[in-house]
Structure 1
């Protein structure tokens, strides 16, 4: 099942993608793709609905982030062996954890703003994991049962802010529009193996990232279990699980985003994001 949110920023409605790729309005059934709607029981109830019985959404509305009311946006750094090699850094002994501000979240096709004073705005295609139920001290064996679904994330990063402006990585990760999520939340029953998903990212038609979740250092279940030892995870929390090689910082010479650039990125089975880059107001 592919769930989504559509409509103007801040006023998105819940929707479902039918077998023909058309959006069906779920607002008469649930208030949002968030909170308890992400539980196993409520997702199962949504599966029982005949999509044809739901109102068809005409035209091509804006697509918002595929999950609402996100409490935590947790990210994992240096989690692909080939990306760590590209960065010239050793693989960590346990997951590197940082946060993005939830104010960075935007829709998958919204414009990406280059922040003022930015000199090194970069891209990162990632597999996103959306938690479906309260998760605390979960084992690796049980961790995936706590997942509501998966999505595409572009973990945009301002490398100068991240590396040279002191403090944690959060400064370079949290700029407005630096967290596109979606287009769809694909429920976990449609993702039999999150460790075998191709992923790519292109800038202006040039493919920079062409990888797979197979090269993750810590797999999704390990990441969820690890995080749950330090904090409880709640329905709607988003975990961005790391990126394969091909980021701008890894190019020789380095390549960074500028206004007028165009990105396209996707993860196998989870849809595609398309973004124009603009200067921040």
Structure 2
């Protein structure tokens, strides 16, 4: 009987030790998964906060860009249109003055016609800058072609443009972002880069719309993040985000700029 009781005690002890081991293991796994899950949730929250912060910065950049554009339009309207119409008004009152000679009447009338013509031309330019009629009627490709012609008309830069994409005219809202990106890049090339040649090409790479942009300007150090934080670049980043695309900018001092973006 004593011989049988010893093995029973050993079995009970083994069961107890085994149960304790699995309980400790279970507690360890629960604690491990708890803290792991907590860490994952924390990282997800941090990622979400970063995304929200990025979206806020994009929205801020768009709002600032819109305000700058409104200021520019207001300035153009005040300087070009209002001033000319004020002079037209003054000249119109002069016509009602007594004892005007035929030559004076003719001169005042010619002034009114000339000023009115210039005011109309400037109002067309302002409207054209807001949304080019060619872009609205014939799409992105025609709009970019006209944009290139306008820059070349200054005789300061030669633009080489090539398109291998058949753009869907129903997607004009997205295409406007592409047009504005190119407009900003070309303005930067001419104003800041002092470029004399610009190359633009559209092509599909692995079914993804891609634009390659280059110039031969003075360039800048693209590795310095501060060089890519201007209002223009923030505006471009915002538009790229709306297009669900990516952008890569490469530039060196005196070696121009190379930009590739997808849309």
TM-score, L = length of structure 1 = 0.24
Larger % of helix: which? 2
Larger % of strand: which? 1
Larger Cα-atom Rg:
2
TM-score, L = length of structure 2 = 0.25
Structure scoring higher RCO (CA < 8 A, sep ≥ 6) equals 1
